[in-house]
Amino acid sequence: QVQLMESGGGLVQAGGSLTLSCAASGMGFRPDVMGWYRQAPGKQRELVARITRGGNTNYAEFVKGRFTISRDNVKNTVYLQMNSLKPEDTAVYYCNADQVFGTDYWGQGTQVTVSE
């Protein structure tokens, strides 16, 4: 009964910003790692950013300095602040909640579109 509720996607112009949110619900669910992945049409899903419960982060090189991932462990919510967006950032963004010794979960995906 774990669910990931995503929000914040939309259409913006190049150079603009968006903030994605993903709340993981479920009794006793305490994901070790939460993160964001994205998939553009015809391309493979790729890691954007991840964050551990302790706050350690990992970013893809193409978003370093532009995106910031954070999480609220009490609310089991992960955020992705996206600044200086580029057209190549256009993709469906998926939230992921990972239990190292258990099942991991995916959100339904939220569309981010960046125009020229």
> Tell me, what DSSP letter sits at residue 11?
E
For residue 27, what pLDDT is reported?
79
Q: How many CB atoms lie within 10 A of CB 39?
A: 14
In the chain, helix, strand, coil percent, each to 5?
A: 5, 55, 40
Percent of the residues in the chain that have a pLDDT greater than 90, as a whole number: 86
For residue 29, what pLDDT is reported?
87
For residue 34, which of 1, 80, 66 has the smallest C-alpha distance?
A: 80
For residue 66, what pLDDT is reported?
98
pLDDT band for position 57 (cuts 50, 70, 90)? very high
For residue 113, what pLDDT is reported?
98
pLDDT digits (tens, 9 = 90+) for 26-40: 878 889 999 999 999
Least confident of 1-10, 49-58, 94-103: 94-103
Instruction: Give dist(CA 70, CA 114) in Å, integer.
Output: 22
Does residue 94 have a pLDDT over 90?
A: yes
Instruction: Give dist(CA 97, CA 112) in Å, integer.
Output: 20
